[in-house]
Structure 1
Amino acid sequence: MTHISVKAVRAGLAAALVLLACAAPARAGGGHSAEDSWLMLTVGRARTPSTAEGGTMLRCDPPRGHRRAAEACAELAAVDGRIADIPAKDLVCPMIFAPVTAHASGRWRGRPVDYTETFSNTCMLTARTGSVFALDTR
């Protein structure tokens, strides 16, 4: 007859618990689901954001809902969803005053996002926000 000590049983149970804990799938994004990253984007003429039919919904996992979704999501990921922190592009923009207002609201990795800024023209909008507000269908 085989005799198993209590210490051996405890060690075996502890090892089994460690293996089970390691095998459990981890959630990406620090506990937030991928669907926690979405933005409703609008661009309007002058100093007020457009309200035409609700704008464009950008979702980032997988990138969709936007003509340049993959680029926009990569730019947002690089700055943890803070649109104002997107590095300025090196563009030569005309000195034409045709103001546009960009607005984004939604969530980035579970954190609320509310961004509104007016730019002197669409070139400056692109230079400062990259692909995020590239909403036209041309």
Structure 2
Amino acid sequence: MTNNQKATTAVRACLLAACALLVAGPVPARAAALPQSPPGDWLYVTVTRGDARTGDPRTGDPRTGDVRSGDTRGALLLCDPPQGHAHAARACEELRAAHGDVGRIPLKETFCPMVYAPLTAAARGEWGGRTITYEETFANACALTARTGAVFALPEEPH
């Protein structure tokens, strides 16, 4: 192949690409401006059976180490309007009263059994324009519900 043939082939390829773009039409500006997260107040909540982290065996630090992946349930809780969660209306009401801070939901007075069946609750999202992150491990489901109300009240999935 001579240099002229290579140049002609390259020009043809460019022209074909330009024609394809013209046929496809302009890309709408809205497509580029799609939101990265849901509008309004929202949290993605998960409940994992067991401790979230096994801890670093060298240091014993529970904040580092391997993350256990196991029985995890999750839901996207949307609060404008409440949806996406089995108890969305009640969870959103509790979060509104706590200004989106799961840790500020009032503790329910209840007696929980002293059974160790740990559950790790985690949430991330946006509330009132602020980024929300939350993670805590509870001794059992009763302690989780007493501390976090309906926010992590996710239905059990059949085994």
Do 1:67 and 1:137's aligned partners in 2 also have CA atoms closer than 8 Å? no
What is the RMSD computed on CA atoms of the aligned residues?
A: 2.1
The aligned length equals 105
Matched-pair contact (CA < 8 Å) for 2:44–2:124: yes
Indicate yes or no: 2:77 matched with 1:67.
no
Aligned identity (percent) is 50
Trace 1:40-59 onto structure 2 (pairs within 5 A). Answer: 40-48=44-52, 55-59=74-78
Q: So what's the TM-score if we normalise by structure 1? A: 0.70
Aligned partner of 1:36 in structure 2 is: 40
Residues 99, 72 of structure 1: CA spacing in aligned structure 2 closer, same or farther, 3 A cutoff?
same
What SS does structure 2 have at the residue aligned with 1:127?
Answer: helix
User: How far off is 1:46 after superposition?
Assistant: 1.0
2:125 to 77, 89, 106: 106
Q: CA deviation at 1:109?
A: 1.3
Gap regions ≥5 residues in structure 1: 1-33
Q: Structure 2 stretches of 5 or more lacking a match?
A: 1-37, 53-67
TM-score (structure 2 length as normaliser): 0.61
User: What is the deviation of 1:137?
Assistant: 5.0
Q: How far 1:47 sits from its partner (Å)?
A: 1.0
The residue aligned with 1:6 is none
**SS of match in other structure, 2:93:** helix
Runs of 4+ residues deviating >3 angstroms: 49-54
1:120 alignment partner AA: A
Query: In structure 1, what is the equivalent of residue 25 of structure 2?
Result: none
Residue 124 of structure 2 corresponds to residue 120 of structure 1: no
CA distance in 2, matches of 1:53, 1:98: 14
Contact 2:49 2:72 in 1 (8 A): no
Asked whether the 8 Å contact 2:110–2:146 carries over to 1, the reply is yes
Question: What amino acid maps onto 2:117 in structure 1?
Answer: A
Which structure is larger by alpha-carbon Rg, 1 or 2? 2
Q: CA 1:112 to 1:89, structure 2 compared with 1: closer, same or farther past 3 Å? A: same
Structure 1 letter corresponding to 2:51: R
